[in-house]
Structure 1
Amino acid sequence: MNSKNIRALNYLYYFFIVAKQGSISKSAEQLAVTQGAISKQIVNLEQILGVQLFKRESRGVSLTQEGRILYESISPCIDVIFSAFNRIQNQEDSNVIKIICTEAVAHYWLAPITYQFSEDFPNINIHITSSNAISAEVIEAYDFGILYGNGQWDALNTFLLFQEKISPICHIDYPVEDIKTINDLMKHKLIQLDPYQWRWITWQEWMKINHSQYHPQKDTLVYNQVTLALAACTNKQGIALGWEFMVKDLVKNNILKKISQFETLTGMNDYLVNSKYKKLSSHAQIFRDWLIASIK
């Protein structure tokens, strides 16, 4: 590692805090330093990398595309480091089960079902961390993770939770009678997920799986999170891609509907995983067995 990269590491924590806070002034308060000191660290990092990491705005700062890539890359590493600090300092209570998963899995699937687990086992606490930067490498810092992929991770035990099943979805009152083919579908307003910030399937990949080519529309609505795309659907703004585990209850409650003739299995799945090299506590084993039984 050259000296320039070593210097860059010195500035990364300041970058991480500012990115998380979205404000230099709030970051200065958290770190008990001056705003000028933080700004200098950020400028030094930008000069080393040769890119602008933040857009300076009247009410704070926001990440550039390059800044977003850096933040999503280092966040899991910093989470692992501080989790290790906590374990060493506090000898964490084995009654606490720590799980990491994506924001969508946490919001639409895991959090709702763990309410029931808490009722069944009130003496066991579930702590959920949501991060779209999740990877196999960060699982060691947690009891469990929920990972998307093909299930082939050498250092992890895996259990299939659900297959990736995707359908175009829209508001229950949105007119779809004219949609017979994918070409018909593309004539409607499609709600897109930003491919620079969304790591999973977008309309482009979905069309390819269905042997079609995606043609972007001039007035396409673009969101960086699926929660926002589904909110746009509930407001009758168009048609989005919906993952079965996310939209199941919305469809059941007649808020959204699937355009079911285009339901697609991608061949990828979501798995409950845990490290092969870290012994599960008795409470973690109870949670694992309960979760597996609940989805059968």
Structure 2
Amino acid sequence: MNKYKLENGINFYDKLMQSMDDESDDDEFLCKISGFPLNDKMVTLECNHKFNYEPLFKEICKQKFDFKSYEYHLLSKDEMLKIRKMKKDYFIKCPYCRNIQFSIIPYYEEYGFDKIFGVNSLDPLCYGYKKHFSNIYGSDDYEINMYGVVFKKGICNEVDDNFICKSKYVAFIPNTEFSYCTFHYKKAVRKYNKNEKNKKLEEKAKLKEEILMKRKKLFEEKNLERAEKGLPPLKNLPSLKKEKENVVIQSIEIQEYIPEVENEVILTCKGILKSRINKGKQCECKKIFKDGFCKRHFSNNNDKINLK
């Protein structure tokens, strides 16, 4: 294979392949329909292609109900055999590679979409599909559902040196004031994503430069201090310590641990034993009958009182 080299020994072919790899890495985190970053409601189909939920649902419904591309006479022989083998009356196609699968996409109530049999529901009663846009081309309320967004009447912001786009149906790039037609929308999305990525890289480079400047300043200060003390200068830049917030911690006296059993006050009979091995000790009976005595010692105590 020919190797093309530019100035300073740069290999053009290697740089080209590297840029292609970078783009493929970025594509892994982008919706295959809208071109925007994947969100927390992304759906991974059996072919491993990933989509954001809203554009995937709309694209499947558009292909299935508007373009009728799911009708059996439009399927290939292999697709027909696959459907007959599974013996199911529903399937969905990957909008990116057209792979047929028989597992449906999830249903998320927060999007406000209908439950549709064979798309996001297996309830046979959910056959209804409501179009959310007008079919009258050229009317003020006419809308085009594409790339997971809705195109309405407006002005395309695509402007070149010798070209001004005159398309009348456009959609806005999210978080911007720029709108583009169906022909220029995906190109504008790629440009927007690239600009956002470059902004993050610039912010990261700026932060790295600030840290380097701080380290150099600290390096000079340390060497000045060492020179005053007659010490040799440092050879390497010192690392910056992470700044910690000054938190005033109140000193708490830790008291001696006393088990709950030791703190528990146990009431026992206050009678004194007068016979056997425990003679002279307090009765340990916990069943108090009356006046702090167990039944046995209460009767003995009453007998003494009566004798007096």
Fold shared by both chains (TM-score > 0.5): no
Whose helix proportion is higher, 1 or 2?
1
Larger Rg: 2
Q: Which has the higher contact order (CA 8 A, sep 6+)?
A: 1
Whose strand proportion is higher, 1 or 2?
1
TM-score (norm 2): 0.20
TM-score (norm 1): 0.20
